[in-house]
Amino acid sequence: MDCPIKTQENREWLLDYSAGRLDRQHAVMIEQHMETCPDCARFVRDQRVVWEALGQWEPQEISADFNRRLYQKVGQAKPASWLQLLWRPLVPVVAACLLIVASVALHTPTATPPVESVEPEQVERTLDDLQMLRELALTPPQEAKTPQPM
Amino acid sequence: MGASLALDCDAQLMLRVKDGDGASFALLLDKYRVSVTHFLYRMVQDQPVAEELAQEVFLRVYKSRETYEPTAKFTTWLYRIATHLALNWLRDGKNERGQERLDEAADEGPVRELPDRAPSVEQRMVQRVKVDEVRRAVAALPAKQRAAVLMHKYEEMEYSQIAKILNCSESAVKSLLFRAYETLRVRLAHMA
C-alpha cells in the first residue's frame, strides 16, 4: 500500500489503527506497511500515547439532583399558547410584507423632480445654437455688406 | 438514510415524546444524560457549567418536541445542540472562570485507577498531574478541534456523524482531527 502519511490518502486508517478501531483487513495492510515505514510506525506509537493519556481523563460524577432540576425547568417551560402557535407560521409572511412596504416606500418618487437624462447630441445642439447666436451678435448688419455699385 | 432512520429507536422515542409521552423523554434522558454531560464537561472543563449546559440541551430537546422531525439520527441532533451550546459558551468568553478552575483543579475529579492494586499516595499524585496535563492539552486546542477529538475519542463517533454535527465535510473533520492529534502528540509525547 502507499504510505498514508506521504500520500495523505487514507490517513485516518492510522488513527483508527492506533485506536484499535480498524477492521482486520486494513489493519494487516497497515502492519505490513509499518514494517518498512518508520514514519508511520512512529505516528502509531505516538498516537497510542495520546490515546492512552486521553483515556485516563475521567469526568466527574453528575449531581444527584440533575433530573430534579431539569424537570423543574421543564415544568416552568410553558407550552406555546394558541396565539404563539398561530403567530409562528405568519412570521415569514409578515416579514415579506414589511420588506415590500419598505421597498415601496424607498422607491416612491418624492417632491423633488427627477433629473432628466441629457443626451450628448442634445448638448452639442445647444452648444451649436449658442455659438450661432454669438456669431449673429458679432456680425455687422446685412446692409453694410451690400456691394457698392460700380 | 431512510432505512437507517427507521432503525433509530431513539428517534422513535422522540416521536413518542412529540405525542406527549413523558416516559419516553425520561428514557432518552437516562440514556444520554451522562454522555452529554461528560462531553460538555470535557469541552468547558467546569462541572457546574457542564451540568447547566446539559440541562439546557435536554430542555431544548423537550421544547422542540412539537416540531421534531427525524431528519437525522437522534444522537446527531442531540450532540449538535450540545456542541452548539458549548461552542457558544466558549466563544462568548464565559470560560475565564473555567480556566481559573482549570488552574486550581489539579486535585479535582476522579482518576482512572487500576482495579487490581491500590495505588500509593505518590502514584495517585503522579496520576493526577498526568490527567491535569491531558486536560490542559485538550483545553489548548481550538474549540472545534476539541469538539471533534472528544466526539471521536470518547463518544466513538464515525467521521461522517462528527461532520454532520459540526456541519462540515467528512474530509474537513479528518483534517481537524489530524491537526488536533498532531498538537496533542507534541504536548503529550513525554507521557510515553
B62-91: b (≥16 Cβ within 10 Å) or e = beebeeeebebbbbbbbbbbbbbbbbebbe
Alpha carbon distance B128, B39 (integer Å)? 20
ipTM, 2 dp? 0.83
Which candidate in B25, B30, B42, B51 is best for mutational testing of the A interface (most A CBs within 10 A)?
A: B51
Among A58, A67, A73, the residue with its CB nearest the CB of B112 is A58
Residue B144 near residue B87 (C-beta atoms within 8 A):
yes
pLDDT at B56 over 80: yes
Closest-CA residue of chain B to A50: B185
Could you tell me how many residues make up chain B?
A: 192
* Minimal CA separation from B38 to chain A, in Å: 6
Q: What percent of chain A has pLDDT over 70?
A: 75
B160 contacts chain A (CB < 8 A):
no
Q: What is the pLDDT of residues A24-40, one digit of tens each?
A: 999 999 999 999 999 99
> What is the pLDDT at residue B117?
65
pLDDT at B51 over 60: yes
Higher pLDDT pick, A77 / A84: A77
Alpha carbon distance B36, B82 (integer Å)? 7
pTM given for the model: 0.72
Higher pLDDT pick, B19 / B118: B19
Bridge partners, B111 (sequence order) = A57
Q: Mean pLDDT score of chain B, rounded to an integer?
A: 87
> A5 contacts in B (CB within 8 Å)?
none
pLDDT at A148 over 70: no
> B112 contacts in A (CB within 8 Å)?
55-56, 58
The one-letter code for the residue type at A120 is: P
Residue B165 near residue B87 (C-beta atoms within 8 A):
no
Strand ranges (DSSP E) for chain A? none
> What is the pLDDT at residue B3?
44
Q: What is the pLDDT of residues A22-81, one digit of tens each?
A: 999 999 999 999 999 999 999 999 999 999 999 999 988 999 999 999 999 998 876 655
Q: What is the pLDDT of residues B120-179, one digit of tens each?
A: 888 888 888 999 999 999 999 999 999 999 999 999 999 999 999 999 999 999 999 999
Q: What percent of chain B has pLDDT over 70?
A: 84
Q: Mean pLDDT score of chain A, rounded to an integer?
A: 80
A81-112: b (≥16 Cβ within 10 Å) or e = eeeeeeeeeeeeeeeeeeeeeeeeeeeeeeee
Cell numbers given for B100: 481559573
pLDDT at A113 over 70: no
Longest distance between any two alpha carbons in chain A, whole Å: 134
